[in-house]
Structure 1
Amino acid sequence: MSAQDLFSTGALAVLLALALLVASTLLARERREVRSLRSGQLLAASAPPPQEVRTPQPRAAIVVNPTKFDDLDEQAVRRRQAYVAAVFRSHGWADPRWLLTTPDSHGDDQARQAVADGADVVVAAGGDGTVRAVAAGLTGTGVPMAVLPAGTGNLLARNLDIPHADLAAALDLVFAAGDQRVDVGRLEVDRTGSDASPESYLFLVMAGLGFDAAMMAGVEDRLKRRIGYGAYVVSGARALWGPQAKVRVSVDDEEETPVRTRSVIVGNCGKLTKQLVLMPDARIDDGFLDAVVLSPRGGIGWGEVAWAIATRDRRGQRRVRHLRGRTFEVTCSEPQEVELDGDPIGAARRIRLTVEPGVLLVRCPPLHPPGT
């Protein structure tokens, strides 16, 4: 064999060895990839399926005053509860929790329990007393209150433009409206004029003494159930001709002013009905309280008061005096009937009223719509 043949044969052998080395390397890599793929498939097959991530459903608690539904039979009440629950489910909420008020617990304890249980919103279903009690339990918690009006006056609902005669429309606000931060009022009641520990109450709309409280105290529940708001008119007519009271009024702890009056009403907001606005400047979120001192004498005097309120005219009014401040104190020479948010609470010689700005969230339409 020639040298050329040997060289050619050696070169060929080297080439074959290199080819074999490359082929074996590629084959080994492929086998490793296959083993890795099979291992991954086995792990995937043996691993538990991925858990679906679910967002917890929001949940409401509804504090109900059952006495407001005495006119409904048991089946009607259940149908109404089923309807409300269905509305919540249709908006992606869990079924609401129902909490009933009792003669000893008017809604404040129920509201606090709802907050402790994690409710996203607490709904007050009842009259002004129920709404006020629920608000007392929610003040300062950051949990909003919604309102399903079921009373006669429904003063807060009227002032916040919450439908008070349409359950479906009021219920829609729970899901469609925003949370508005509002003020609450505090009322201290000194029964004797020298009580060491005056009684303390929260109010949302108005509190006062004199004629308005006597009118509220004179409303008969039987008549209110029969003719609704007209019962207040009947009671007001009975209390119209009482005597003026001697009182001293102090605003923001300044010097007391002696006045003769039939009524001193202090308001966190000022609307009695859609058309009847007692305090036109009162806003529920301005950090102030507004007041009116009514001093009519006889039929002509009441006519002047009615005209001033109906027309919202303050010019030269002797019988209607408007005041504004953060603190009011009224001291009476004789005990006078006291009311808050339309509920009479008995007679007292002295009351003190203060405002707590922005401590309550209420789910309602915007307080100041564009253009107002």
Structure 2
Amino acid sequence: MTPGELLDTGVLAVVLALLCVVTLALLARERRTTRRLRTQQVPPTSPRSDPARQRRAAIVVNPSKFTGLDEDALRRRQAYVAAVFRSHGWDDPLWLETTPTEHGQRQAREAVAAGVEVVVAAGGDGTVRAVGEGLAGTSTPMALLPAGTANLLARNLDVPHTDLAAALDLVFSARDQRVDVGWLEVDRSGRDAEPERHLFLVMAGLGFDAAMMAGVEDRLKARLGYGAYVVSGARALWGPQAKVQISVDGGAPAAARTRAVIVGNCGKLTRQLVLMPDAEIDDGFLDAVVLSPRGGIGWGEVAWAIATRDRRGQRRVQHLRGRRFEVRSGEPQEVELDGDPIGPAHRITLSVEPGVLLVRCPPLHTPEGP
């Protein structure tokens, strides 16, 4: 091999070596770049891929409770509520409106089928009762955004009924409490083979209280609020006593002359006014009061007994407790459940179904001290 050939061979070898080095370097740099890009890249996510964003509530709203707000005000309130849910990492809520013929049962069942975490009842006691009926027996809890006049369940569960922000806060901060529900069977003729059946959460009964509810005019309620019940109660105060037969847990019927028989799953009317002091919404029992006043003095005795919660020697206020009550009346009496009048009937049957409804609310009982 000549020196020239050796030189050419050496040059070729050097060139080939350099090419190999450059190629390896380029490959190494490409691998490092790919690795760096891989570690920096965030895979695209849909809004619902984050577990926190998968949480969603349904709000069953009764639009008739917001007739005092114009369309812009309603949109602002709805936008505010949605913004509160987003601020807690939830999706925008599913809004479901009630109608004059569908009061919330179907909407609640639709919400459960959609897989929401909680169903919020935004309306009065009728809306709350209907939503509760749709959720009873499911694992989906109910929360409350009270918008009615009485807001009886909210008062009994210590849910703020005049502060939207505070009530909303409970949706995210409160625990689910298991509560009882009551069932009311209404036999209007006294011989019905298939009585009407309604769920109630607070109280149901017949007589004076139902007549008072039936006498409340919508116009007066819109103007006076809770005071409309006082006006209607004063009108119904002087009606006649009714002859009834009351049976508790299948026992022998007891005759009574009464102005009202009220059976409660819980017992509070207002913060200070407690009709049934022993009633607890999670104790598996119903409590009842039988009011038997005669004239103005009799009503004074009833008012004193309720205001002071004094039962000693009370002839006008009788307290009963059981799991099933049957009340028969010779003459048809007005009937109400959770403050809503539903017309007259000869016979009603009331029973309790323990622990079948979850409600998101403050603790039901104050923890006992050491």
Name the TM-score, length of structure 2 as normaliser.
0.88
Which letter maps to 2:51?
A: T
Aligned residue runs from structure 1 range 30-49, under 5 A:
none
Correspondence for 2:269 among 269, 272, 280: 272
CA shift at 1:56, angstroms?
4.9
Partner residue of 2:136?
139
Do residues 329 (structure 1) and 311 (structure 2) align?
Answer: no
Which letter maps to 1:361?
A: L
Do residues 115 (structure 1) and 107 (structure 2) align?
Answer: no
Give deviations 1:113-133, integer Å, cap 9, x for gaps: 011011110000000000000
CA RMSD of aligned residues (A): 2.1
- In 2: Cα distance, 1:150 partner to 1:83 partner: 16
Partner residue of 2:51?
55
Correspondence for 2:179 among 177, 182, 186: 182
Partner residue of 1:218?
215
CA shift at 1:160, angstroms?
0.3
Do residues 299 (structure 1) and 300 (structure 2) align?
Answer: no
Structure 1 gap segments, 5+ residues each: 1-33
CA shift at 1:371, angstroms?
3.4
- In 2: Cα distance, 1:166 partner to 1:63 partner: 18
Partner residue of 2:240?
243
Partner residue of 1:281?
278
Correspondence for 2:103 among 90, 98, 106: 106
- In 2: Cα distance, 1:175 partner to 1:56 partner: 12
Q: How many residues align?
A: 340
Aligned residue runs from structure 1 range 9-48, under 5 A:
none
Give deviations 1:79-119, integer Å, cap 9, x for gaps: 10111111111111111111110011001100100110111
CA shift at 1:370, angstroms?
1.7
Say if 2:52 and 2:89, in contact at 8 Å, map to a contact too. no
SS of 2:238's equivalent?
Answer: coil
- In 1: Cα distance, 2:38 partner to 2:159 partner: 54
Report percent identity of matched pairs.
76
Give deviations 1:289-317, integer Å, cap 9, x for gaps: 00000000111110100000000000010
Q: 1:42 to 1:92 in 2, by over 3 A?
A: closer
Correspondence for 2:164 among 153, 167, 180: 167
Correspondence for 2:79 among 78, 82, 92: 82
Give deviations 1:226-281, integer Å, cap 9, x for gaps: 00001000100010000100000000011100110000000000000111000000
- In 2: Cα distance, 1:161 partner to 1:182 partner: 14
SS of 1:348's equivalent?
Answer: strand
Name the TM-score, length of structure 1 as normaliser.
0.87
CA shift at 1:47, angstroms?
8.0
Do residues 207 (structure 1) and 204 (structure 2) align?
Answer: yes
Partner residue of 1:192?
189
Which letter maps to 1:70?
A: T
Say if 2:204 and 2:263, in contact at 8 Å, map to a contact too. yes
- In 2: Cα distance, 1:351 partner to 1:37 partner: 86
CA shift at 1:54, angstroms?
2.6
- In 1: Cα distance, 2:36 partner to 2:168 partner: 49
